[in-house]
Structure 1
Amino acid sequence: MYKIHVPRNPLKKEIYFLENFPQKLQFVISKQEYIYFIRKINSIFKPKYSILYILKVLTIIPLLFTKKNIYDDDLDKLIREINNDLLKKHICITHPKYNNYLYLEIIYFNKEDVR
């Protein structure tokens, strides 16, 4: 089992994970697949200025003192979808909230670990 950490971009104020392809995943998934799911995850953190988003934020204002972020539910769903696709290749992604959004952890299981 390998754990690969994908760090945030320190130059950006908002959460944005780097798209550099880890060499440990070179023979497991393609670079295009990797960039695709990293970009999907990064798109969750981009500010969305739609009526639905504004209503969501306004209804959350009384709950600002809770630890849960606005994008946690959307990110949970997205990570489940990505993991459903990647588990066939013995890879899964952990939620970045467990790492305080400092990095995204990718876990690669050997075929022997799955048994």
Structure 2
Amino acid sequence: MPIDEDTCGWLGLPSPLEMYRQHCGLLENEIQELNLQLRKARADIFGLIAMLTEAQAKKDEFAGYLRQRGAEAAAMRKQIADLEISASSNRKEADELRQRLGLVRAR
């Protein structure tokens, strides 16, 4: 529908140029808001990356700690096994000595 520019003023309608300016202003405001949101999103992403890096460093540190504790636990299990074998051997020797002592007393 063609707009007669002479009637726009007295009908209270904006001219096409005024509508374009208004639309341009709205678009500029929207672009500014989107840029602010984009900056905030980038800052959030940067923060998340920093948190991830810190978490990975802590994970690596704890993995090393667990490896050390695992090695210590394995050494202790071996030591316990050796002590059990030694205790078993000592029990056998003690039983043999008791038997000999029993034979010597019986004579």
Higher relative contact order (CA 8 A, sep 6+): 1
TM-score relative to the length of structure 2: 0.22
Higher normalized helix content (fraction of residues): 2
The structure with the largest alpha-carbon Rg is: 2
